Copies of this chain bind each other. A is one copy, B any other.
Amino acid sequence: MNRVSSLITLDDFNLLLQEHHPFAAVLQAQVLEIGAGHARVFLPANASHQRMGGIISGPMLMGLADLALYAAVVGATGNSHAVTASLSINFMRKTPPGGVLAQATIHKTGRLAAGDVVLIPEHGGEPVAQAISTWSVPRSAAPVQAVLPG
């Protein structure tokens, strides 16, 4: 990924989530950074996201991974209509207390984009999960601006 700057600003991406992606509010994740093919998204600790054992549930971690990949894909392509085509995740450790940070990187763009994401504990330590994913990027989609309210 050679481009230096994201094709969407962090503010515009957050607006995109608010206006068009209601599910993102369920996750309550915070997009910390978005670049041209990378993104960092943080999932705060939240009792309602837990599963047995007081750890963050797999579904919430998969949601976090998917959202971070979406941010990275939109940052790389400017195409907000991209959708997940496949996602494979390995859960490697139980989450320690605290939130989880997702770092997504896109390795290929085109009509089928591909990348990976690593989930690491807020307070450091070994990664809790790793995923690879492909994304379908429609060719004729309206640019990001057209789907944003302003």
Interface residues of A (CB under 8 A from B): 20-23, 25-27, 47-53, 57-60, 62-63, 66-67, 80-81, 83-94, 107-108, 111-112, 114, 116, 126-127, 130-134, 136, 147
Expressed in whole angstroms, the Cα–Cα distance for A61 and B144 within the complex equals 25
Expressed in whole angstroms, the Cα–Cα distance for A57 and B62 within the complex equals 12
Contact present for B92 and A52 (CB under 8 Å): no
Contact present for A87 and B112 (CB under 8 Å): no
Query: Secondary structure at chain A's binding surface: helix, strand, loop or mixed?
Result: mixed
Q: What chain B residues lie within 8 Å of A60 (beta carbons)? A: 23, 26, 63
Contact present for A21 and B51 (CB under 8 Å): yes
Q: What chain B residues lie within 8 Å of A86 (beta carbons)? A: 85-86, 88-91, 134
Contact present for A25 and B51 (CB under 8 Å): no
Q: A21-B50, A86-B89 are in contact. List 11 more A-B contacts (CB 8 A).
A: A21-B52, A22-B48, A23-B49, A23-B60, A27-B59, A51-B83, A58-B66, A58-B84, A85-B86, A107-B130, A134-B134
Please state the number of chain copies in the assembly. Answer: 4
Contact present for A126 and B108 (CB under 8 Å): yes
Q: What chain B residues lie within 8 Å of A52 (beta carbons)? A: 20-21, 80-81, 147
Pick 24 A–B contacts, CB within 8 A, sort by A.
Answer: A20-B51, A21-B57, A22-B50, A23-B48, A23-B49, A23-B57, A26-B49, A52-B147, A58-B66, A59-B66, A59-B67, A62-B62, A83-B94, A85-B86, A85-B90, A85-B112, A86-B88, A86-B90, A86-B91, A89-B132, A107-B130, A112-B112, A116-B116, A116-B132
